[in-house]
Amino acid sequence: MNKNLWILLLCLFGWASSQEASDAATTSANTTGNKMPFVLGGVLETGSGVLANGDHGIGLIRVTPMIGAWINGLGYLRLGYGFNNYVQDPDEGEKREIEQRDFSAQLGISLGFGPYLQGSYTRAKNLSDAGDVAWNEYGLGLGSFFQLGIKSALVFEIEYRFISEHYDPFEKETISGTRLQMNIGFVVYVY
């Protein structure tokens, strides 16, 4: 989780430095034409339902750094890769270090300037000496972004996630289900 927070801090630093050059970028954009707006950022995913570790309830799912292309008024494509390590200390048995790896892809279609309809796919993995588990998540939802300047924006999304059936060797049970998920993020436009 700390690695992901450092990446988000780097994005904030990029935003701050981009604000200094915003006047120069506006002048440059007027003279050089349109370029593909690439974005760099991250989202904090929270939800209610089946969580990433197989629990049911409300909690943090993951922090996902991302890159992509975002054309205002048209749509976006984002790719993210999250990584996190944690230690599970059950009442009975020995401690386990679990590595979480998540690859996600999201496609959004604009519903006007601001709101958008999105679809998402996540391939999630929990890796440990006790056994590995991998599953797919599919989501459908609505989102919106709020421009902070010409080079940055905040992202707010609500989506319904479907978690495919998978066997969790840590909990020794089969897990599947759904969750209502809220994503809060930050993107910096890198032209």
Listed by start position, the domains of the chain span 2-190
CATH 2.40.160.20 fits 2-190, yes or no: yes
Show Cβ contacts of residue 110 under 8 Å, excluding neighbours closer than 6 positions. Answer: 72, 73, 74, 75, 116
In order of 39, 45, 77, 98, 124, the CA distances from 153 in angstroms are 10, 17, 15, 33, 27
**Residue 29 near residue 50 (C-beta atoms within 8 A):** no
> What is the average pLDDT score of the chain?
80
User: Helix, strand or coil for residue 137?
Assistant: strand
pLDDT digits (tens, 9 = 90+) for 42-79: 999 998 988 776 677 788 888 899 999 988 788 899 99
pLDDT digits (tens, 9 = 90+) for 78-114: 999 988 887 777 666 677 788 889 999 999 999 877 7
Bridge partners of residue 69, in order along the sequence? 38, 77
Length of the chain: 191
One-letter amino acid for residue 176 of the chain: S
User: Can you give the pTM of this predicted structure?
Assistant: 0.75
Nearest partner of 40 among 23, 17, 58, 74, judged by Cα: 17
